[in-house]
Structure 1
Amino acid sequence: MAASSLASSPILASNIAVPPPPPPPPPPPLPMMPSKGSVPAPPPTKPLKNGAAPPPPPPPPPLPMMPLKGSVPPPPPPKPLKNGAAPPPPLPMMPLKGSVPAPPPPVPLKNGAAPPLPPPLFGAAKNLGPKRPTTRLKRSAQMGNLYRVLKKKMEGTNQEGPIPEGRSSQARRGLTGNSNGGKQGMADTIAEITKKSSYFQQIEKDVKKHAKSIMEVKGAITNFQTKDMTELLKFHKYVESHLEDLIDEGQVQVLARFEGFPTKKLETLRTAAALYLKLDAIVTNLKIWKVVAPLSQLLDRIEHYFNKIKGEVEAFERTKDEEAKKFQTHSINFDFNIIIRIKESMVDVSSSCMELALQERREMKAVENKKTPGSKTERPTKDCTTKLLWKTFHFAFRVYTFAGGQDDRAEQLTRELALQIESNLQHQ
Structure 2
Amino acid sequence: MAASSLASSPILASNIAVPPPPPPPPPPPLPMMPSKGSVPAPPPTKPLKNGAAPPPPPPPPPLPMMPLKGSVPPPPPPKPLKNGAAPPPPLPMMPLKGSVPAPPPPVPLKNGAAPPLPPPLFGAAKNLGPKRPTTRLKRSAQMGNLYRVLKKKMEGTNQEGPIPEGRSSQARRGLTGNSNGGKQGMADTIAEITKKSSYFQQIEKDVKKHAKSIMEVKGAITNFQTKDMTELLKFHKYVESHLEDLIDEGQVLARFEGFPTKKLETLRTAAALYLKLDAIVTNLKIWKVVAPLSQLLDRIEHYFNKIKGEVEAFERTKDEEAKKFQTHSINFDFNIIIRIKESMVDVSSSCMELALQERREMKAVENKKTPGSKTERPTKDCTTKLLWKTFHFAFRVYTFAGGQDDRAEQLTRELALQIESNLQHQ
TM-score scaled by length of structure 2: 0.70
CA deviations on 1:281-336 (whole Å, 9 max, x unpaired) are: 00000000000000000000000000000000000000111111111111111111
Residues 254-263 or 355-364, more deviating = 254-263
Deviations 1:89-129 (A, max 9, x none): 99999998855899999999999999999999864782333
- Alpha carbons 2:222, 2:260 under 8 Å: kept: yes
Change in Cα spacing, 1:203 to 1:212, as seen in structure 2 (3 Å) is same
Secondary structure of 1:123's counterpart equals coil
CA distance in 2 between counterparts of 1:39 and 1:405 reads: 83
Distance 1:60 1:290, change over 3 A: same
1:167 CA drift (Å) = 1.2
Question: What is the aligned partner in structure 1 of residue 9 from structure 2?
Answer: 9
Q: Deviations over 1:147-185 (max 9, x none)?
A: 000000000001111111111243243624899999999
Counterpart CA distance in 2 for 1:57 and 1:212 is 118
Kindly tell me the number of residue pairs found equivalent between the two proteins: 426
Identify which range, 146-155 or 204-213, moves more after superposition.
Answer: 204-213
- Following superposition, the deviation at residue 131 of structure 1 comes to 1.3
Aligned-pair CA distance for 1:209: 1.2
Aligned-partner Cα distance in 1 for 2:301–2:89: 78
Residue 414 to residue 69, structure 1, CA distance change in 2 (3 Å) = same
More deviation, 405-414/6-15: 6-15
Relative to structure 1, the CA distance from residue 374 to residue 23 in structure 2 (aligned partners, 3 Å threshold; closer, same or farther) is: closer
The residue aligned with 1:278 is: 276
Unmatched runs of 5 consecutive residues or more in structure 1: none
Pick aligned residue for 1:321 from 319, 322, 335? 319
Gap regions ≥5 residues in structure 2: none
Shift of 1:258: 1.2
CA contact (8 A) 1:174 1:315 kept: no
Q: Alpha-carbon deviation of 1:237?
A: 0.6
Partner Cα separation in structure 2 for residue 49 and residue 203 of structure 1: 139
Deviates more, 1:132-141 or 1:13-22: 13-22
- Native 8 Å contact 1:174 1:311 kept in 2: no
Deviation at 1:49, TM superposition (A): 59
The farther-off stretch of 174-183 and 367-376 is: 174-183
Task: After superposing the two structures, state which structure 1 stretch, 156-165 or 351-360, moved more.
Answer: 156-165
Name the CA shift for 1:404/1:81 in 2 (closer, same or farther; >3 Å).
closer
SS of 1:261's partner is coil
Distance 2:35 2:50 in 1: 37
Counterparts in 2 of 1:92 and 1:342: CA distance versus 1, 3 Å:
same
SS in 1 for 2:170: helix
Q: 1:202: Cα distance to partner?
A: 2.2
Q: Describe the shift of the 1:55–1:105 C-alpha distance in structure 2 as closer, same or farther (beyond 3 A).
A: farther
Q: How many Å separate the matches in 1 of 2:305 and 2:215?
A: 45
SS in 2 for 1:420: helix
Distance 2:232 2:387 in 1: 44
CA distance in 2, matches of 1:161, 1:398: 10
Q: Secondary structure at the match of 2:200?
A: helix
Name the SS of the counterpart of 1:391 in structure 2.
helix
Over the residues paired in the alignment, what is the CA RMSD in angstroms?
A: 12.7
- Distance in 2 (CA, whole Å) between partners of 1:17 and 1:111 is 110
Deviates more, 1:51-60 or 1:216-225: 51-60
The 1:70/1:380 distance shift into structure 2, 3 A limit, reads: same
Match of 2:331 among 330, 333, 346: 333
Relative to structure 1, the CA distance from residue 349 to residue 59 in structure 2 (aligned partners, 3 Å threshold; closer, same or farther) is same
